[in-house]
Structure 1
Amino acid sequence: MNGDSTARRVLTWAASPSGAPPSGPLSRTTGLARPTDATLEAARELLRTGAGRAGLPAPVLGDRGPAGAGVILLAAAIGGRSLTKPAARLATAVAAPRPHADGRWNDAAARHFVVAPFLGTVAPPPPLPVVYPASTAASAREVPLPEVLLSHSPLTRVLHRPPLQELRAGTTDPDVRTAMELITRPGGRALLTTTFAAWRKSAEVLGWRSDLMQLLVIGHPDVVIDVYVLARTVHGEEWDERIRVARRELSRPGLPTDLHLQTVRFWAPLAQIRARNGGFLREHPYLDGCQRALQLVDRYRLGARRAA
């Protein structure tokens, strides 16, 4: 086994993810510059199956261009994750696409289809330490692999979250532009709304979604409404339970956890829309049931975007 076979195993796993992703050696990684036919076919199959699961018509997000080698390198990095530094070097060996600017949506989708399943198998990261300018280089070597993968998967940055360092520094303008362009692509609006509608056990993911939707409210309130309609009609039982738990925990003495705060704050953009139209909820019966969440948004004044 070598880097090529490790990448191929991860690509095959990501096409039908179950359990933990496979792992393997990263020997002879120079061969990844010219992958075997079997590995190239595994990458093409991942793009086909990933697009199918996401409901994306061909060509993926309207882009007929090639996916590029990035998806194979990211797959190899995931498979070789026990070798932290070599895996990080592989993940960053090829510059990430900037689909809002360069139109490389096929490449961005392929990367997302391998990175997103992997992120679903890892626990949310602990808080990052404060990084001082003098120690930036040293800290960069300590960035966990999931954060490195996010930095090189622009679609995952939108649908999951940007890397923590950038999210907390407020340097997410490219991600906002990617999201704005994504909702104009074939199948892109449905991809964003169906992904955002589900609860996630991550305060940072929920907070990012709330921040982004508060920006979308300005020019695309219909997209934001679609998210909440899907949240109520597809994931209503889970959201009811999460809001019930958040309400209980927020009422306890002491500081609440950020997850409970962000569970409630996810509904802040809907509160913005309601503030502009007092009869809004009566006009949208599929949103029935969100009143408890909105009451908590008002009670704890969670309507504003987080400070950078």
Structure 2
Amino acid sequence: MTTPVLRLGTRRSKLARTQSKLVGERLTAVTGIPVELVDIVTEGDVNRAPLVTMGGAGVFVSAVRDALLRGEVDFVVHSLKDLPTTPEPGIDLVAVPGREDPRDALIARDNLTLGELPVGSKVATGSPRRQVQLEALGFGIEVIGIRGNVGTRIEAVTSGAADAVVLANAGLRRLGETDRITEVIDPLQMLPAPGQGALAVECRAITATSTDQERFIAKALAELDDAESRACVIAERAVLSRAEAGCSAPLGALAEVVEGDAGLELSLAAVLADADGHLIRHSVQGRVVDARTLGEELADLLLERIDGNLPTTMSTKGA
């Protein structure tokens, strides 16, 4: 099958286009076919209301997926943390490329770290997950809301509107903004959003009526999939789904493939805020092939901690 160009649907932000370009270049290396970026405006791009008031999950992906289903583009790329946890009919998550650093990062005035910020310092974030974890550190900082692209958020610090801002390290690395980072935040202090740092590559689901081109694209995109990255995000998103939390809910999760007693294992940690803002942390470890089950098990344990008012931190070794 030959086609002159493959159309990649993406949000129009600088970060989204940068991420999509990276995937497009990898696909061209596999197929020899050039990739054309097609900008798509989403609700999250034009509505500056807090994400939680907009429904959270889907505000950055619905319009992009609609363009895919209408046949206006051949495949799409998202930040995986923006995807709703429920499958979208007619669309397959065909690849999760190798993941960038999933941790959060701080950009602060005077090159300060979180622990060095004076009491009363204003730290900006649009994420309830980051807010509750920042407040739980007990540093006496004031968390303020912010929306906008990476440049807009960094400007809040340079203009003096905020003393610091917390952003995804992965996005800063992809944009070449690492020189602005004053601290990469340890997951022991702040767990990232499920799927943070990973990309999601979607195409139309293959059915009996799919065209040769659709089959060709799906097969080529599958070559970009990284098995370890996919296992980690499956586990993290299973925690999110089982806990019935949207992408703006105060829940963080991070999975890593580590060397265990019997070979490679999946280590999964998560944090969930209860109704009073208290943080419940838990972790499990088990077989990589059981990623989804481990995530669901961890969510159940978190919810049990909250419902039973049990100790807020513990760890379990899975089978």
Task: Note whether the superposition's TM-score is higher than 0.5.
Answer: no
Larger RCO (CA under 8 A, 6+ residues apart): 2
- The structure in which a higher percent of residues are helix is 1
- The structure in which a higher percent of residues are strand is 2
TM-score, L = length of structure 1: 0.30
